Amino acid sequence: MEKEVKERTERKLNWNIKNRWEQRALDDVKRNSRFRDFARLSQQQQAFSNIQEFNSIDELYFFMDNMFTDGFDEHHISIALDVFLRDVVLFEEKDLNNPTFQQFLREVGRNMVTFEDEKNYVKVAQFLDWFCVNDKILWINLEQFMLRKERIFSADSYIKLLSHFSN
C-alpha cells in the first residue's frame, strides 16, 4: 500500500508521467509552431458543421424573421453571422436590400453593447467589411464598444478587427 501511495505521489508531481524527460519532450512538441491541437480543431469543425444549412437566401430570411419574433440576443446574432459569413458568395445586391437584412443590421447595432465574447465583435467587423455595409453609425458603435471593452480582446482579435477597419 505504501508503494502505491508513493507511486501516485510521483505521478501527481510529474503530471501523471513517470519519466520527467518524456514530459519535457512533450512540452517541446507543444511549443513547436508546427504542433496542431487536433482536439481544438475538431471542436471548431464540429461547431462550424452545426450551423444550419439553407437552400436559398429566402429560406435564411424566413428563419431570421422567426428569430426576430422569438427575441434576438448575442447567441442568435452569432449564429446568423456564421451563416452570413459562410454563404457570403450567395448574396446578391437585391438580397442586401431586403427588409430582413436591414432589420438584422439594426438588431446588430442595438445588441452590440451586450456582447461578451470577443469572437462576436470580430465576426461583426468581418461581416460589415465583407458585405460592404456603409452605415457609419454601425462602424462607429463597433469602434466605441471595442475601445470600452478592450480588456476582453486578445492581440489576435485586435489585429483581425483592425484589418477589417482598414478596408
DSSP-based three-state secondary structure for 15: coil
Q: What angle do CA 130, 150, 135 make, to 5 degrees?
A: 35
The answer to whether the CB of 81 falls within 8 A of the CB of 115 is no
pLDDT tens for each residue of 32-57:
645 555 555 455 445 444 555 667 78
Below-70 pLDDT ranges, the chain: 5, 7-54, 167
Q: How many residues does the chain have?
A: 167
Identify the pLDDT of residue 25.
Answer: 67
CB-side neighbour CA atoms (13 Å) of 4? 1
